[in-house]
Structure 1
Amino acid sequence: MKQDQKPSVVLITGGSSGIGKSIGTFLAAKGFTVYGTSRNPSKFENFEPFPLLQLDVADTYSIEAAVAIIEKQHGRLDILINNAGAGIMGAVEEVPNDEILKNFTTNYFGPIEVTKAVLPLMRKQKQGLIINITSIAGYMGLPYRGIYSASKAALEITTEAWRMELKPFNIEMTNVAPGDFATNIAAGRYHAPVRKGSPYATSYQNILSLIDNHVDDGNDPQEMAKAVYKIIQTKKPKIHYKVGQFMQKFSIVLKRILPDKVYERLLMNHYKIK
């Protein structure tokens, strides 16, 4: 995306840690004017890379207030990065409905609300870029992560439609799907309890351990930061980007070319579900 002479203004939801913080720190070092967000910025009093605004993606008022601060300060917002997200695990049968709704509010409805809030300003300035951080998990239904996969898949598909609606206004929208990265996402993830006597108890417990190990062994979030920076420099971003380990990205290719049941069996073998 071609930048003006003034530094481009960037808003990153969920910018206090993990991938969001890495992206924001990288862009700030490149000369961008970066704002991150947190539901509770007071928890990060010594946060230095860039300013943190109070924003809860489940609270429309806080979204509008954060965008208003940026508009008052700069009169523009060039780039929105919808990064705030939450993990959720459990057998679909055993995940409480209120937790399903909460996850979709953070991973799907939240990014939509934030995007709606910035679009009038982007239309006014006749340009903008919106980057939705999704997940490679959104390309396939993963056992015990069905709700998470669904929320990220929903955002991927909505982006495909929305970007076409925005093109007449010179506003670009794209998805970036990361694989496993070494962040603190596991600490904030909702885990349905492993219930004694549950028919899923054994396989669910095994998968919990396996997935946490995958995150611990994940790539450096700087890889995502560099990928996002490259997209920003691209005049016409693609619809989808995938960032992560080769096998995680290749799993998407396999799903396209293999028969459904063969692919399903590969997943079940990987997760040791008999």
Structure 2
Amino acid sequence: MNKVVLITGASSGIGKSIGEFLHHKGFVVYGTSRNPEHVLNSVFPLISLDVRNEDSIRLAVDKVIAASGKLDVVINNAGVGITGPLEEIPMVEIKNNFETNFFGPIGVMKAVLPQMRLQQSGLIINITSIAGYMGLPYRSIYSASKGALELITEALRMEVKSFGIQITNIAPGDFATNIAAGRFHVPVVKGSAYEIPYGNNLKTIDDHVDNGGNPNEMAEAVYGIIQNLNPKIHYKVGAFMQKFSIVLKRILPDRVYEKMLMNHYKL
């Protein structure tokens, strides 16, 4: 039987690219969206799911298992961006980001693990971010939520390995998707202490996304991970310098690395 794949946040961007790629490779793909009725011409079924709601997660997972009888691969892709000076980001937006980027994937993993233990097999791929490997100015909350998911994956991977379940992270760099359209960003406030540096960096952040890579690179990477019988703990996909920045963080003294980032962001 073909493998059954569930992808959260699959109505657009990276999730949609992964879903289409796997569908054309013969996988049985189910995607999720908060509003699937608004999505036209999807090549794979879309199920309603809001990762911030435990009941919504459970209903979606139960629907896939009832339809297919199994669940081989789960891709935690749903996520939201957030930018702004930490001092000026409303607490409600900080909490919403963690509900979506961190607690949401945990909820999905908790919902699918019983089925995977029953099967004594399964693969969970968490889509994190290269930004999760370092604290980036004006992206502190995004870096923190994605970095937390990286560490959860490391721990959970060891807890479930004896059940035949594999868990891995894949951290993308900047890709040309519509993530900026759904991102919460603090407005540049006239007279704010952060007006000039944040205003300049907000444009830079948007330019990086607009000029990012093709999301099909992520789809091909995910397909490669699924085909691997013993996937690694961490994967990075993106431009050379984005991936190399992680290496530099490991080998450079903290203050040297901080200075390098500040020069890059003109701070």
Report if TM-score (shorter chain) is over 0.5: yes
Please show how residues 7-46 of structure 1 align to structure 2 within 5 Å: 7-44=2-39, 46=40
Residue 210 of structure 2 corresponds to residue 208 of structure 1? no
Identity %: 67
SS in 2 for 1:119: helix
1:1-274 to 2 correspondences below 5 Å: 6-44=1-39, 46-273=40-267
Structure 2 portions without partners, runs of 5+? none
How far off its partner does 1:47 sit?
2.5
Distance 1:151 1:79 in 2: 23
Shift of residue 48, structure 1, vs aligned partner: 2.5
Q: Which amino acid aligns with 1:124?
A: L
SS of aligned partner of 2:5: strand
- Look up the SS of the partner of 1:68 in the other structure: helix
Deviation, structure 1 residue 193: 1.5
How far apart in 2 are the matches of 1:89 and 1:113?
A: 24
How far has the Cα of 1:196 moved from its partner?
Answer: 1.5
Letter in 2 for 1:135: S
Aligned match of 1:3: none
How far apart, in 2, do the equivalents of 1:137 and 1:68 lie?
33
Q: Which runs of 5+ in 1 are unaligned?
A: 1-5
What's the Cα RMSD here? 0.6
Distance in structure 1 (CA, Å) of the matches to 2:246 and 2:147: 13
Give the ranges of 4+ consecutive aligned residues of structure 1 lying more than 3 Å apart after TM superposition.
none
Deviation of 1:265 (Å): 0.6
Deviations 1:209-257 (A, max 9, x none): 0010000110000000000000000011100000000000000000111
Q: Distance in 1 between matches of 2:71 and 2:41?
A: 22
Q: CA deviation at 1:160?
A: 0.4
CA–CA separation in structure 2 for the residues paired with 1:48 and 1:184: 17
Give me the whole-angstrom Cα distance separating, in 1, the residues matched to 2:67 and 2:153. 29
User: In the TM superposition, what is the alpha-carbon distance from 1:142 to its structure 2 partner?
Assistant: 0.2
Normalising by structure 1, what TM-score? 0.97
DSSP-derived class of the 2:180 partner? helix
Output the CA distance in 2 between the equivalents of 1:194 and 1:177: 29
Supply the AA of the counterpart residue of 2:13: G
Name the SS of the counterpart of 1:35 in structure 2: strand
Aligned residues: 267
Separation in structure 2 between the aligned mates of residue 226 and residue 29 of structure 1, nearest angstrom: 12
Q: Which has the larger displacement, 47-56 or 150-159? A: 47-56
Q: Which amino acid aligns with 1:40?
A: N
Alpha-carbon distance in 1 for matches of 2:158, 2:87: 36
The SS at the match of 1:175 is strand
